[in-house]
Amino acid sequence: MALEGIHHITAITGDAQANVDFYAGVMGLRMVKQTVNFDDPSAYHLYFADEQANPGAALTFFEYPGAAPGLPGVGMVHTIIWRVDSAEALDFWEARLRAAEMSVLHEDDMLSFCDPEGLAYQLVIDDSDDAPLSAASPEIPAEFALRGFGGVRAYAQQPEASAELLRALGFAADGNERSWLVSGDERSATLSYDEPPADAPRPGAGTIHHVAWSAAGDAELESCIAQANSAGAQSTQIIDRQYFHSIYFREPSGVLFEVATRDVGFTVDEPLDQLGLTLQLPEQHEQYREQIKLTLTPLINPRARS
C-alpha cells in the first residue's frame, strides 16, 4: 500500500476574512469551499486549493474568531512545504511577499516565510514528476503559481517510534528515521521530523491541526485502520465528511494523522465553476442554516468580485 501523498492540511485561524484575503488574495489560491466544522457548526471550515479542487493542494482552516496565537511544539506539524516551478518563481514570491509587508528568508533553492498569524511555509523548487496543481489568479503568472504540496515538517522527540507505523502505511525512510517519503502512482510527499522547541505546544491561531494523507477509497481506509492499530495507534472508524471519507489517529510521535479518500470530491454539492462562492452545509446541519449563519462572519471572496 502506498498513499498518494497529502490529501489536505488543516490549520486554525482567528479571522476568516483576513484568512481569505491572504490565501485567495496574496497567495492566489482558489477558495473552493465555505462550510462549517462538522463537529462544531458554529465555526467556519474554509478550503483553498488549485483550480480543480484536487487533493494534494487543499489547505483548510477552522475559524475560531479572536483565537489567541498558538505555538507549535512536540507532536505537531509546524511547517508546510509548497512546490514552485523555478528559481524565478522563488524570486517572484520573494518580491510579492515583501510587497505585502511579509518577512521572508531566501536561501539557495528555498523561500521561508510565515503567514500573518505565524503559520510557517517553505517554497521549494519542484523536482518531482507530479502534475502541477495550480490555481488561476489574475495577479500571479501561471509559471509562478504554487504547484501543490511537497510535504510537511513536524516536531518529534523520538521520531524512531513512528517508523513501524510509517512503513506500514507505505512511507519509505530517506536515509534515516527523521525523513520519509510516501509516493503513490501519481503523487508524492515528504514527512520530516525536527527537534522540538523547549516550550510546550499551544494550539491556536497559526497552528496546524492535522495533516491528511490521500487514499483511493474505503477499502484503503480499512487497510489503514488495520495497519495503524497493529502498529500501536488507535484509529477511528470511517467517518463521512461529505467531500471525502476519512479516519483519524495519532501516530507514535503525537502528530494527528487523517487519511482521506479522493473518490467523492468538492463538486458533490455545487458545480466546479461555483465552488466556494456560497455557504454549503452538510445535510445534518441544513435545518439550522439561518441560526448557523448568525454565528458566522459574512465573507468577501475575491472570486465573487471577478
Any idea what the Cα angle at residue 35 is, between residues 32 and 38, rounded to 5°? 130
Residue 161 phi, psi (nearest 5): -65, -20
The residue that leads in pLDDT, 123 or 174, is 123
> Hey, where are the domains in the chain?
6-305
Residue 192's alpha-carbon distances to 174, 199, 238, in angstroms, are: 10, 20, 27
Q: pLDDT category, 1, cuts 50, 70, 90?
A: low
| CA pair distance 32, 48, nearest whole angstrom | 6
CATH, range 6-305: 3.10.180.10
Reading the block at residue 256, the C-alpha cell is 494527528
Average pLDDT (44-51) is 98
pLDDT computed for residue 302 by the predictor: 84
- The mean pLDDT of the chain is 96
Q: What is the pLDDT of residues 102-138, one digit of tens each?
A: 999 999 899 999 999 999 999 999 999 999 999 999 9
Any idea what the Cα angle at residue 304 is, between residues 39 and 50, rounded to 5°? 65
Average pLDDT (34-47) is 94
pLDDT computed for residue 305 by the predictor: 59
Q: Is the pLDDT of residue 306 over 70?
A: no
Residue 50 phi, psi (nearest 5): -80, -175
Q: What is the pLDDT of residues 64-108, one digit of tens each?
A: 999 999 999 999 999 999 999 999 999 999 999 999 999 999 998
Q: What is the pLDDT of residues 186-199, one digit of tens each?
A: 999 999 999 999 99
Q: pLDDT category, 299, cuts 50, 70, 90?
A: very high
pLDDT computed for residue 104 by the predictor: 98
pLDDT computed for residue 176 by the predictor: 85
Q: Is the pLDDT of residue 289 over 80?
A: yes
Q: What is the pTM of this model?
A: 0.97
For residue 167, which of 181, 186, 151 has the smallest C-alpha distance? 181
Average pLDDT (25-30) is 97
